[in-house]
Amino acid sequence: MIEVNNLTFSYPKNSTPTVKGINFNIGKGEIFGFLGPSGSGKSTTQKILYKLLPNYQGNISIKGQDLKSWSKEFYQFIGVSFELPNHYLKLSAVENLRFFSSFYQNPIDSFEELLEKVGLKEDANKRVANFSKGMKMRLNFIRSFMHDPDILFLDEPTAGLDPVNARIIKDIILDLKSKGKTIFITTHSMYDADELCDRVALIINGNIKAIDQPETLKLKHGKNIVEVQVEGQNEVLSYELNHIGQNQDFLNLLANNNIRTIHSKEASLEDVFIKITGESLV
């Protein structure tokens, strides 16, 4: 669905490029993530992909067609959720949705179901000026998928949300994936990247340092051991995971002791990020 080759971008007044020759592809039905700290170039890359920043170098093809040759029709099949919600504060939630949906070919008759999905049904006719940040973000999120686009660009969709609201958004993202949508998200949360992404790109200072499935990255960069603590002992024992079922010491330990804790030691995505980039995610 999306192919990016050798993409480089500089903001006019900056001396160094913000995006430095990056390459990635996103397949149909995939959730692909950019995981990186603030300022690494995530939003800039997305803005290039939805044609907000036209002066880039490199090649971008979306649905098999060069991005530069797509007409306005492009916006019919993509959906965008900006990092910061931008609503008309004097209008109600429904009025905002009605206004933004008027740009699309097929009118949307009822917003009730959409508002209910994100827990805003009761607030449909309230002015957005009186909404909390979480409410504004959920309303913003509806705008990314209300016109049933094939490709979604979601910039930090859960940033700053409390766990309940973040859960609502993540469940909708997973539901959109189950409907075959192609989803490109940015995040600096290793938990979101881990839970949502089929593949994740680790991005820092405008460079992609690795692209892989979260599971593969964690296994590749973690330790292949289990650590066990038995009741009454402070010592942490460790055993090679390979052929652990034939390791008589390990089996005896399980048979003859009460186990307090037992953990395999795959890395977290944050560990992987630090190992590969030398920097942390915050």
Ligand X SMILES: Nc1ncnc2c1ncn2[C@@H]1O[C@H](COP(=O)(O)OP(=O)(O)O)[C@@H](O)[C@H]1O
Q: Cα angle at 135 between 134 and 137, to 5 degrees?
A: 65
Which 8-state DSSP code applies to residue 261? E
Closest by CA position to 213, among listed 228, 199, 192, 230 = 199
Closest by CA position to 157, among listed 53, 267, 42, 73 = 42
**Cα separation of 182 and 29, whole Å?**
4
User: Which span sits near ligand X by CB under 6 A: 11-19, 57-65, 106-114, 143-151?
Assistant: 11-19
User: What binding mask, one character per residue, do residues 9-48 give for Mg ion by CB under 5 A, x or -?
Assistant: ---------------------------------xx-----
Instruction: State which residue, 118 or 197, has the beta carbon closest to ligand X.
Output: 197
Could you say whether residue 43 binds ligand X (CB under 6 A)?
A: yes
Instruction: State which residue, 36 or 214, has the beta carbon closest to Mg ion.
Output: 36
Instruction: State which residue, 169 or 185, has the beta carbon closest to ligand X.
Output: 185
**Cα separation of 275 and 103, whole Å?**
45
- Residues in the interface with ligand X (CB under 6 A) total 11
Instruction: State which residue, 43 or 182, has the beta carbon closest to Mg ion.
Output: 43
Bridge partners for 155 per DSSP = 186
Instruction: State which residue, 14 or 125, has the beta carbon closest to ligand X.
Output: 14
Handedness of CA 76, 82, 88, 93 (dihedral sign): positive
Residue 191 dihedral angles phi and psi, to the nearest 5°:
-70, -45
Judged by CB under 6 A, the residue of 2, 42, 81, 152 near ligand X is 42
Q: CB of residue 201 vs Mg ion: minimum separation in angstroms?
A: 14
User: Which span sits near ligand X by CB under 6 A: 35-43, 57-65, 146-154, 173-181?
Assistant: 35-43
- Tell me the one-letter amino acid at 82: F
**Cα separation of 93 and 60, whole Å?**
35
What residues line the site for Mg ion (CB under 5 A)? 42-43
What residues line the site for ligand X (CB under 6 A)? 11, 14, 18, 36, 38-44
